[in-house]
Amino acid sequence: MPKDGIGASLARREDKRFLTGTGRYTDDINLHRQTHAYFLRSDVAHGTLNGVDTSAAEGMEGVLRIFTAKDFAAAGGLPCGWQVTDLHGKPMQEPKHPILAEGKVRHVGDPIAVVVAETLDQARDAAEAIVVDIAELPAVVDMKAAVADGAPKVHDDLTSNLCYEWGFVEENREAVDKAIREAAHVTTLELVNNRLVANPMEPRVAVGNYDRADDEYTLYTTSQNPHVIRLLMGAFVLSIPEHKLRVVAPDVGGGFGSKIFHYAEEAFVTWASKEIGRPVKWTSSRAEAFITDAHGRDHVTKIELALDADHRFTAIRTDTYANMGAYLSTFAPSVPTWLHGVLMAGNYTTPLIYCNVKAVFTNTVPVDAYRGAGRPEATYQLERVVDKAARELGVDPAELRRKNFIKPEQFPYATPVAVEYDTGNYHATLDKALEMSRYADFETRAAESKSRGKLRGIGLAHYIEACGIAPSNLVGQLGARAGLYESATVRVNATGSISVLTGSHSHGQGHETTFAQVMADMIGIDPNQVHIVHGDTSKTPMGMGTYGSRSLAVGGSAIVKAAEKVIAKAKKIAAHLMEASEGDIELKDGQFTVAGTDKSVAWGDVTLAAYVPHNYPLEEIEPGLEETAFYDPANFTYPSGAYVCEVEVDEGTGKVEILSFTAADDFGNVINPMIVEGQVHGGIAQGIGQAMLENCVYDENGQLLSGTYMDYAMPRAMDLPDFAVDHSCITPCTHNPLGVKGCGEAGAIGSPPAVVNAVLDALNRGGYAVAHIDMPVSPARVWQAMHHAK
């Protein structure tokens, strides 16, 4: 393993600025003469907006201007980036998503007016003086109620609150129904994938700055994908040509999906900075984040698993209601469909699968991708129903899975839900996790817990995910309105250092370190010679940004492709310098050598020659050493793994303590093990948070009850155990040059079912015949389940 190349747990260079308080997050940016924006938002879930009286606020101290929807008549609405076609072949219902509420307010938090003032306090004070006349309407919060006859419509111009009904694979529906009717055993489970709030520690911020001299706009924003924002906002909302619009996402404090989407505040500050003639800054409060950042998950599902007499899975049928919230967020329609339905094969050889999804509008905050985006929902359904089946049939849950796993020799494996898995070895990851967690000795530990009056349980889950999104042609056919390639420019400097300009973004993933490792490894130079540039549309080629565990798989591959072009040209130069044939040139450890001789020339000599081309084949190649590549992946990548959770339940209080958590993941090749482990730790923490603590709750009037950290239980250090993680089971990805599969979401995907399975195991071993508890598995829910089972 090289000291600091691919495979090394190199310490992160970005840490220096974060540890010394010299990071540059968007709220740290203060522009000369900037003004402050405060959004006045609806505090009712549904109502007719009859009037907004700003007269008292206009004259207040420091107020520059107050904006309402009429000021945006010329602007477009916020676009949706994915169009789903329903099972009748019709496009989804797509309501307008205005920057400021027009005619109606549709969720608590819907923005109504914006005050721009000299200071934030002045803007906030003035907002309190705005009188809003809203005639409240009944709110729809429950999804099934929202699609019932006569339900109040969230959008009056749509036929109903049903955004779409999607069926996959529709042609197989009859065969699936038949297989279920004829099955030896059918396990049925109704479950809720609870709504969550992403809550990255940095709230969203947007700073807009219009430069009158050059007629150019700059937007600083807490985004995971500045180029996507530039395209969506420039082309569809504000009609600003791309070359006049620069979007910068500097240091960003976490995203987890919630910072992918194009939000109203971004468009507002950009446009308002021109109207006002000064920069406009908006900073979200945490309470505001709860009612404006896209929420995650919120599926209600019925899943049926059919088995034959030998306990082989013969069919799966699922029926899901997926909440879209009040408006379509940028990628929302894709999450319960193409990121969920296509994973319903899981790691298993089930031959027949049908997935039905009804996406529903409700008077709640828009819902979109959150770490895992559709794959946690699919995994939770599968791994819970498999576990339930094992209990019903009286078989070991590990054995039931093993019996139905796709075998290593079956790859590439074409699933009945359209995707083809390239490689995998699920038996290996399951065995590894069981070994690490000492699954075989569980009974001894259970007895020890019992002697202390506690119920001990062990639960497992095996997941697969599709990530490294995505082949552009394929997703285009599925309704994506964007490509999903990635880009890199490798700019070699005369003295041999390298600037890599990447379309990926880093908001915690450590790309400044890992991308440097990849680049440096290809030449054989010190990674400190490589500088990674990201997050600024004026500096980097167009890229789609960071989410979906795609950065190494797609962004890293773009770097490799660009680097290969650079190396090819460098070899020509080296050949010229050494008067050798190009085909005989080898590059290793930063030296070009002529094969079979001791002639060599250093990387730095070649790079200098490229920029000072005095001894140079000018008649064959141009000076300079800089190449760009755009990489469009051939397929998704398919990481997978086995998770084991061990818990103790207190019978008196229902409190669950997690004693251990084990993860054995197959991420293909790994660039920086330390960073990969950190990604898994963070994902598991979020998965445990979902399973045990977090819940985004609305009352029947659409009031958000879990609106701050006082009511939304974020995992804290003492809520979580140490994690035992492993990634030694490696089946490299076959279709990208690094052989990587990606690791950013896995932890959040595999952990919720492992936790819930463990709790149910504890209860059932303790004599409580509990079939299911919905997340979060709080002490109250556990206690109630125990007492109902008595």
Partner 1 sequence: MKVSMKVNGRQVSGEVEGRTLLSAFLREGQGLTGTHIGCDTSQCGACTVHVDGRQVKSCSIFAAECDGVEVTTIEGMANADGSLSAIQQAFQDHHGLQCGFCTPGMVMAAAALLKENPKPTPAEVRDHLHGNLCRCTGYHNIVKAIMAASGQDVPAMAAE
- Strand 35-41 and strand 280-283: pairing? parallel
DSSP strands (E only) in 375-485: 413-414, 420-421, 454-464
Between 162 and 675, CB nearer to partner 1: 675
Distance of CA 94 to the CA centre of its chain: 23
Token match 């906002």: residue?
Answer: 233
Question: Taking each helix axis from N to C terminus, what angle separates 746-765 and 673-688, rounded to the nearest 10 degrees?
Answer: 50
Q: Compose the 619-658 pattern: x for residues touching partner 1 by CB under 8 A, - for all others.
A: ----------------------------------------
* Residue 751 CB, nearest approach to partner 1 (Å): 10
Between 379 and 546, CB nearer to partner 1: 546
Kindly state whether residue 271 participates in binding partner 1, applying the rule CB under 8 A: no
Helix (H) or strand (E) holding 569: helix 557-577
Kindly state whether residue 611 participates in binding partner 1, applying the rule CB under 8 A: no
Question: Taking each helix axis from N to C terminus, what angle separates 375-393 and 397-404, rounded to the nearest 10 degrees?
Answer: 120
* Residue 9 CB, nearest approach to partner 1 (Å): 8
60, with CB counted inside 10 A (0-12, 13-18, 19+), is middle
Kindly state whether residue 718 participates in binding partner 1, applying the rule CB under 8 A: yes
Residues near 421 by beta carbon (within 8 Å), at least 6 away in sequence:
406, 411, 412, 413, 415, 464, 638
**DSSP reduced 3-state for 577:** helix
Kindly state whether residue 138 participates in binding partner 1, applying the rule CB under 8 A: no
Between 255 and 496, CB nearer to partner 1: 255
Between 19 and 74, CB nearer to partner 1: 19
Between 253 and 376, CB nearer to partner 1: 253
Kindly state whether residue 725 participates in binding partner 1, applying the rule CB under 8 A: yes
CB burial of 17-47 (b: ≥16 within 10 Å; e: otherwise) equals eeeeeebebbbebebeebbbbbbbbbbbbbb
**Hey, which residues between 95 and 124 contact partner 1 (CB under 8 A)?**
121
Kindly state whether residue 509 participates in binding partner 1, applying the rule CB under 8 A: yes
Structure tokens at 331: 């990628």
Kindly state whether residue 723 participates in binding partner 1, applying the rule CB under 8 A: yes
**DSSP reduced 3-state for 42:** coil
* Residue 537 CB, nearest approach to partner 1 (Å): 21
Between 23 and 167, CB nearer to partner 1: 23
**DSSP reduced 3-state for 390:** helix
Between 560 and 664, CB nearer to partner 1: 664
Structure tokens at 74: 């010329």
Strand partners, 313: 307
Q: Compose the 164-203 pattern: x for residues touching partner 1 by CB under 8 A, - for all others.
A: -----------------------------------xxxxx
Give the span between the Cα atoms of 200 and 198, in whole angstroms: 6
Kindly state whether residue 1 participates in binding partner 1, applying the rule CB under 8 A: no
* Residue 641 CB, nearest approach to partner 1 (Å): 14
Between 128 and 182, CB nearer to partner 1: 128
The residue count for binding partner 1 (CB under 8 A) is: 60
Between 342 and 642, CB nearer to partner 1: 642
Structure tokens at 299: 């599926």
Give the span between the Cα atoms of 476 and 470, in whole angstroms: 10
Stretch that binds partner 1, among 49-57, 265-273, 476-484, 668-676 (CB under 8 A): 668-676
Considering only residues 145, 158, 587, 724, which one is a binding residue for partner 1 as defined by CB under 8 A?
724
Q: If you ran DSSP here, which 8-state letter would residue 85 be given? A: B
Between 158 and 720, CB nearer to partner 1: 720
Question: Taking each helix axis from N to C terminus, what angle separates 375-393 and 746-765, rounded to the nearest 10 degrees?
Answer: 20
Between 1 and 73, CB nearer to partner 1: 1
Q: Compose the 672-711 pattern: x for residues touching partner 1 by CB under 8 A, - for all others.
A: -xxx-xx--xxxxxx---------------------xxx-
Structure tokens at 689: 């948070």
**Hey, which residues between 727 and 786 contact partner 1 (CB under 8 A)?**
747
Q: What are phi and psi of 658, to 5 degrees?
A: -85, 120
* Residue 286 CB, nearest approach to partner 1 (Å): 4
Structure tokens at 192: 């809720």
* Residue 522 CB, nearest approach to partner 1 (Å): 24
* Residue 11 CB, nearest approach to partner 1 (Å): 5
Choose among 282, 266, 202, 280: nearest CA to 228: 266
* Residue 330 CB, nearest approach to partner 1 (Å): 21
Choose among 703, 97, 107: nearest CA to 363: 107
Q: Quick check: 260 and 293 in contact, CB under 8 A? A: no
**Hey, which residues between 331 and 390 contact partner 1 (CB under 8 A)?**
none
End-to-end, the C-alpha distance of the chain in Å comes to 57
Stretch that binds partner 1, among 163-171, 279-287, 607-615, 643-651 (CB under 8 A): 279-287
Considering only residues 4, 27, 627, 694, which one is a binding residue for partner 1 as defined by CB under 8 A?
27
Alpha helices in 502-556 (DSSP H): 511-523
Summarize as ranges the residues that interact with partner 1 (CB under 8 A): 11-12, 14-23, 25, 27-28, 30, 121, 199-203, 251-254, 256, 285-287, 507-510, 673-675, 677-678, 681-686, 708-710, 714-718, 720, 722-726, 747
